Structure 1
């Protein structure tokens, strides 16, 4: 039957239940197989065509491709940031898109603070905060560290960002660009795509559409 014919399908997952039943699940396959599959963002709204003004650089395209495929395997709603082929932040499992962006930023800031705490004091940021609370280390030590993290924008400047679903509003772009994100990949298809494109143009950021959502629950 059909199950037998799909037996060699690597995207088919089969699991059994306690009562002898079977659960069949097909993994989603991304239609983005190379950077050439990205489409420069464009949206027609009330008879006016809105286009992104800046195309991604070759380096940004490579990072967007990596970010998109990581995003396809992260629990929705998901945001992935990448710079120089290295993941800089992941926001996952949120109920709203901008919430996933803010979570990714928060995690990046915490990770950078943790890195600096270890480099300077050979302890985690949690241990450093505890030592300050106990009066074992000057409070200025911690405030100086956090100031450096803010100045460095959590190490996110120059990153690109992929989203597994479209941006319903421009807030995710504005928030990310405030930390130095330079390019975005997302499915497109929102009613306010023209506003998202406008936000990217204001920030001189690149935006490409994938024309496919990659939700994972």
Structure 2
């Protein structure tokens, strides 16, 4: 075990070349490996690349696109000079903390992938293992981070935070009260580093180009998926085409000569949450279902094989996280600590029962939220999960042969549930 522990603190090194060229029938993209000359405690300077890959025994390298323009069909792919994560310099690492590894970098990248659709307001995304565990808009950046953190304090532990605005002192104080691996923002205001650098292992990264992140909505990149036999699947990167209320489509379906139409139309607030939730959905591993309310995630279900199962998991997670935040607000300790203390006879059982009763009464904070599904519901049972918990609206891709059943579920609900289609799915694997 001690050997494994030491692996996590070791920079593995790699044997990947400094330059890599990928050719597409006469068109070439040129990449340069990113290394950083990082000062050491003894005064020396060590030049290294990525700490290690997904695990400490996997060599890894980060490459930045530095040359070449690729056009395939009618798609012109992103050009050099638009670096974000791949362009991070030593100067951008305001505190190196632990040398960055592959997961740190991909967490930041996926945070940017979500934030690029949320740049109109202060927003924060907290990620863990390349999935968001909390995402929120806020009146201020501090408000946005606090809301995102309260979505799931448990998963946020050791997470990466990516923010749409320069970090100010109020936000820095909230960040410093949590154990985090990475904090990333377009800038850090005077005095914030003094607060954040109290955590010596925290990676503090400035990416100034976040200020123009909205431009990346229109960029496509070549997405490589490597296979066990050494083969590669190449695809265009996904684009979110649901950006305004006009992009939403009415929930209408036909079955056996009859037209089915969702009776209730969404409110302005529900439409805002549909657009926010669909933006967050683009960074969540499929199959996924989200519950969002007032520009903030309530429950996030990720990576499941069946849609009704992931809808139930998102409910389960919402209940657990709601219990934890209620307990923390009431007693100043996590729910798990309260449960343990009760089981050991160190705290009164009624304290835990009070939390449990409120969670059940409030249904984990789900009532009034919008249910987001990254693809259609093949049966109504998935939508029924959210409806039983009190969602007020649903956004899904549409296109199932049984869409009429899901429309019936919304119309039969008391009160009725609004539903819209995207006409686009949002799978991410």
TM-score normalized by the length of structure 1: 0.92
Match of 1:215 in 2: 427
Given the alignment, which residue of 342, 355, 374 partners 1:132?
342
8 Å contact kept, 2:369–2:391: yes
Deviations 1:141-180 (A, max 9, x none): 2122111101011011110011001001111222111111
Segments of structure 1 that go 5 or more residues without pairing to the other structure are none
1:12 maps onto 2:12 in alignment = no
- Structure 2 unaligned runs (5+)? 1-25, 29-68, 72-76, 80-218
Say whether the 8 Å CA contact 1:159–1:181 is kept in structure 2.
yes
Q: Is the alpha carbon distance of 1:193 and 1:122 closer, same or farther for their aligned partners in structure 2, counting shifts above 3 Å?
A: same
Q: Which residue of 2 aligns with 1:174?
A: 384
The structure with the larger Rg is 2
Aligned to 1:96: 306
- Paired position in structure 1 for 2:17: none
Shift of 1:33: 2.5
Contact 1:173 1:196 in 2 (8 A): yes
RMSD: 2.1
Question: Is residue 14–residue 22 contact of structure 1 (8 Å, CA) maintained in 2?
Answer: no
CA distance, structure 1, for counterparts of residue 333 and residue 231 of structure 2? 51
| Residue 296 (structure 2) aligns with | 86
Asked if the contact 1:83/1:160 (under 8 Å) is kept, the reply is: yes
1:45 aligns with 2:241: no
Higher helix share: 1
Question: SS state of the match for residue 152, structure 1?
Answer: helix
Find the counterpart in structure 1 of residue 327 from structure 2. 117
**Partner in structure 2 of residue 198 of structure 1:** 408
Q: Across the two proteins, how many residue pairs are aligned to each other?
A: 216
Report how far residue 91 of structure 1 moved: 0.6
**Structure 2 length-normalised TM:** 0.48
Conserved? CA contact 1:78–1:94, under 8 Å? yes
Kindly report which structure 2 residues correspond to 1:53-64, keeping only aligned pairs within 5 A, or say none.
Answer: 53-64=263-274
Q: Distance in 1 between matches of 2:333 and 2:396?
A: 38
Tell whether the 8 Å contact from 1:161 to 1:184 is kept in structure 2 after alignment: yes
Change (3 A) 1:189 1:23: closer
SS of the residue 1:68 aligns to: helix
In 1, Cα distance between the equivalents of 2:231 and 2:425? Answer: 30
Superposed displacement of residue 190, structure 1: 0.7
The equivalent of 2:242 in structure 1 is: 32
Cα distance in 2 for residues equivalent to 1:14 and 1:214? 15
Contact 1:12 1:24 in 2 (8 A): no
Cα deviation digits, residues 42-76 of structure 1 (max 9, x gap): 11100000011011111110111111111122000
Out of 333, 345, 359, the residue aligned to residue 149 of structure 1 is: 359
Q: Which has the higher contact order (CA 8 A, sep 6+)?
A: 1
Cα drift, residue 11 of structure 1: 2.0
CA distance in 1, matches of 2:315, 2:420: 21
- CA contact 1:80–1:91 (8 Å) conserved in 2: yes
Structure 1 pair 163–14 and aligned structure 2 pair: CA distance change class (3 A): closer
Following superposition, the deviation at residue 25 of structure 1 comes to: 3.8
Report the Cα offset of residue 120 of structure 1.
Answer: 2.0
